[in-house]
Amino acid sequence: MSRFLSACFDSSPNSAYDVVNNTPSYGRGAKNMVLLFVDTHSQSVPYRTLNPTFQTAGQYVYNRDWTAGEVRGADSK
């Protein structure tokens, strides 16, 4: 599991989903992100197994609009 196509951005009622670990606003749990992989399967993946895109204010951000490391990079560990 290294590359995926899309993430589910379901959010809790009256809130916007924030792509960080332990977010209270994700509608599918605070410690996972649901992803669609290139082989067409979907899976709820723990943040701890994902490579963060960047870090801000001491917190890792898991923005899946791009892959850290570009073409040679991987989305998950």
Average pLDDT per 10 consecutive residues for the chain, totaling 77 residues: 75 77 74 85 88 85 74 73
Q: Give the pLDDT score at 25.
A: 67
Give me the residues paired with residue 37 across strands: 4
Q: Give the pLDDT score at 1.
A: 46
Q: Give the pLDDT score at 31.
A: 84
Q: Give the pLDDT score at 47.
A: 85
What distance separates the 2 farthest-apart alpha carbons in the chain? 38
Closest residue by Cα to residue 50 from 67, 38, 36: 67
Distance of alpha carbon 23 from alpha carbon 67, whole angstroms? 21
Q: Give the pLDDT score at 28.
A: 75
Distance of alpha carbon 21 from alpha carbon 30, whole angstroms? 7
